[in-house]
Amino acid sequence: MNQQKQRVFNKIIDKIKSAKNIALISHRNPDGDTIWSATAFYEIIISNFPWKKINLVCRDKIPRNLSFINNSKLYKSYFDPEDYDLIIFFDSWSKSQTSFDIIYPELFDSKTYNTIWIDHHKTNEVYCRQNLIMTNYASTTMIIYELFKDTSYYINQNAATSLLTWIFTDTGWLKHSNTNFLVYKYVRELIKLWADRQFIIDNFFKNNSLDRLRLWWRIIEKSFIDKDNILFTYINKTDIDAFWADYEDISWITDLLNSREWIKYSAILTQKWEYVKGSLRTLRDDIDLTSLAKKHWGWWHKKASGFTTTGSIEEIKTLNF
């Protein structure tokens, strides 16, 4: 490990050791990486420092399709920063993504609050007292694993399972181009730590309801490929209600649609109240989706990006992707 990374790791561990009350914050509209990173962190701290008070916090409800995660039922929707001497944000690429920037703008004053930000997104916004950003890592869970592995902390089975799950999913089950030697190395090590692969398989591949599958067929039915080989599809609340489904049921169809290399990229637009959520995916090395997501103030990786913006699907469809 290089010396700079070791110094940052040591500073984070020192902050954990000295803190009595710790808040672990997952970002708004939580996905698996932010939830699994925080819950794995929770498991590791509790197993190594059982006397500390730790709370999991997220402004939005944990999605139903991710509610099987260990400790997901412990999440609180609000917290008072004054109650904690250490606050850690996971996978949140901006202050607004934490969803606490309006309620507690002073939270991001590094002179006032002891805060840590751990993330793997490419971003220009550095907002905490201590920042651990590793953009060449496939998921934030990989960073969490390396932090505690390299500082010789005990990682129990629940934590190992949480960390392994989102390494799998953020690499498209080891299919995406971000699956490199380090990913395989960490997968092997986590399995050796008794990460429960069968638990992951059962909850991701063996629990699809008939309503979810019908919704997926509706999304596929609406899809089309334009003259530039861009695959578009869209879904609205009427479609979701018709199949007794949830917004969370849409997530896994994104990678399924993006399964042919000759497609430039795929875009799924989802109407959610007054907002439209866009999910962008590509398999091609010559496409960088970050430039598209930035137009709509979204989050981004080169081959997997997204955004949330106001307006209707019809309005968004006319925008320059």
Amino acid 84: pLDDT: 97
| Percent of the chain residues topping a pLDDT of 70 | 95
Lowest mean pLDDT among 65-74, 75-84, 125-134: 65-74
Task: For residues 199-207, give the mean pLDDT.
Answer: 83
Of 58-67, 108-117, 266-275, give the range with the top mean pLDDT.
108-117
Task: For residues 279-286, give the mean pLDDT.
Answer: 86
Phi, psi of 246 (to 5 degrees): -120, 165
Amino acid 119: pLDDT: 95
Amino acid 319: pLDDT: 57
Helix axes 3-18 and 140-150, enclosed angle (nearest 10): 80
Burial class (CB within 10 angstroms; exposed 0-12, middle 13-18, buried 19+) of 187: buried
- Residues linked to residue 224 through DSSP beta bridges, in sequence order: 232
CB of 90 closer than 8 Å to CB of 38: yes
Q: Is the pLDDT of residue 193 over 80?
A: yes
Q: Is the pLDDT of residue 97 over 80?
A: yes
Task: For residues 69-80, give the mean pLDDT.
Answer: 92
Amino acid 288: pLDDT: 86
Computed over every residue of the chain, the mean pLDDT equals 88
Amino acid 258: pLDDT: 82
Question: How far apart, in whole angstroms, are the C-alpha atoms of residue 105 and residue 134?
Answer: 25
Q: Is the pLDDT of residue 259 over 90?
A: no
Question: How far apart, in whole angstroms, are the C-alpha atoms of residue 53 and residue 137?
Answer: 30
Question: How far apart, in whole angstroms, are the C-alpha atoms of residue 201 and residue 249?
Answer: 17
Lowest mean pLDDT among 105-109, 268-272, 296-300: 296-300
Q: How far is CA 68 from the centre of its chain?
A: 16
Task: For residues 154-175, give the mean pLDDT.
Answer: 89
If you count them, how many residues does the chain have? 321
Q: Identify the structural domains of the chain with CATH numbers, from first to last.
A: 3-202 (3.90.1640.10), 210-317 (3.10.310.30)
Of 75-89, 125-139, 170-184, give the range with the top mean pLDDT.
75-89
Neighbouring CB atoms inside 10 A of 59's CB total 19
Amino acid 32: pLDDT: 87
Lowest mean pLDDT among 37-51, 178-192, 214-228, 232-246: 232-246
Amino acid 318: pLDDT: 63
Q: Which residue has the higher pLDDT, 313 or 280?
A: 280
Which residue in the block uniquely carries the two structure tokens 């590509």? 282
Helix axes 32-48 and 157-170, enclosed angle (nearest 10): 160
